[in-house]
Structure 1
């Protein structure tokens, strides 16, 4: 499956103040999440941000909020899977069913818990799911690796930030291409 910007939505999972500092490869994670969010904004792809128990883990980090802009919808959750929280499930399903955005591009933390459970639930509900492997993290590389292996075994695609951005773009020579290709460099 090739990503199509008219059929895509971006889901940013739990990149929060008290969780981010213990993640492996934080700088790479944040750079790639920012690129995805900026590309989604430029290409009019809806963005949803989840926050796991924000009272305890803190809000989404400012870098993500800045990259996603005011158009992104931020919703709290207590469940690990975004689809098991009513408001998040409603938002994702509305975008999927009403607006025909059945491709869910997922990034965030932790890969082996919230990202994994969300991706598996999305697949189970019939969405096309692409997890961005260089825009997810866990506390250990081993946990992330096992999560990716498990997602792939359940027909979840795994791609890179650059793959997603260029699939959304489809062609060179546009103003959007010029702007986004500068992000990737």
Structure 2
């Protein structure tokens, strides 16, 4: 039980991405950014100062900065700390007791949530399950969801799949997610590409900047 030790591996780049079946184009007035479970407990299993961790945090920070500038909702999920035995359901059989007390439950410092951003308790890998994420997106009139964070083949994949099932267009940012291994990271991208747009941070930022739909986007943005 518990999280495995994660070795260093390179982030995927645009030349290695699987082709996406959908051809949706991200639009700032329709999209929200979801930062999935970037907590010290989970991110701390990645090797410090080695790929993919610096790219993961840096790319999420870049996505968040532009999302904020464009007036897009920014949503964080976080597993509650020190859950009572049995609250984690079957996940406890596989991953153990989960996040403990103290700083382990906090979002990593470079991405710490700010006033005006949303933080949702994430009790299962799928961020929609047993949360009000769906209601939040409807209240914000958003039908596109940019997904980044950890882990690609678990929470990211399941959340993107549920978004699709709820007619919310998912965009999975290949170099702003990380996983337990390069193999599982690549597998997650192959699966999500069937019902999501799989893209890089750079291409998504360009598409967001290109849009002239959002009233918050100036010509010199």
Q: 1:95-106 to 2 correspondence within 5 Å?
A: 95=140, 99=141, 101-106=142-147
1:89 Cα offset (Å): 3.1
Partner of 2:17: none
Kindly provide the CA deviation profile for residues 37-69 of structure 1, in whole angstroms up to 9, marking residues without a partner as x: 01111111111100023441512112112xx53
Kindly provide the CA deviation profile for residues 131-165 of structure 1, in whole angstroms up to 9, marking residues without a partner as x: 01010001211111111111112x21101111111
Partner of 1:82: 127
1:159 aligns with 2:199: yes
Match of 2:188 among 142, 147, 161: 147
Relative to total residues, which structure has the larger strand share, 1 or 2? 1
Judged with a 3 Å threshold, the aligned counterparts in structure 2 of structure 1 residues 29 and 86 are, in CA distance, closer, same or farther, namely: same
Relative to total residues, which structure has the larger helix share, 1 or 2? 1
Judged with a 3 Å threshold, the aligned counterparts in structure 2 of structure 1 residues 54 and 92 are, in CA distance, closer, same or farther, namely: farther
Kindly provide the CA deviation profile for residues 107-128 of structure 1, in whole angstroms up to 9, marking residues without a partner as x: 0100010111100000011111
Instruction: Structure 2: state its 5+ residue gaps.
Output: 1-23, 83-98, 213-217
1:171 Cα offset (Å): 6.2
SS in 2 for 1:158: strand
1:125 aligns with 2:152: no
State the 4+ residue runs in structure 1 displaced beyond 4 angstroms.
none
Distance 2:133 2:143 in 1: 15
Greater Cα radius of gyration, structure 1 or 2? 2
Judged with a 3 Å threshold, the aligned counterparts in structure 2 of structure 1 residues 46 and 170 are, in CA distance, closer, same or farther, namely: same
Q: 1:1-185 to 2 correspondence within 5 Å?
A: 1-23=24-46, 25-55=52-82, 56=99, 57-65=104-112, 69-95=114-140, 99=141, 101-153=142-194, 155-170=195-210, 174=218, 177=221
1:26 Cα offset (Å): 0.6
- Is the 8 Å Cα contact of residues 11 and 104 (structure 1) preserved in structure 2? yes
Distance 1:160 1:141 in 2: 16
How high is the TM-score relative to the length of structure 2? 0.71
Moved more, 8-17 or 47-56: 47-56
Partner of 1:183: none
How high is the TM-score relative to the length of structure 1? 0.85
Distance 1:93 1:171 in 2: 22
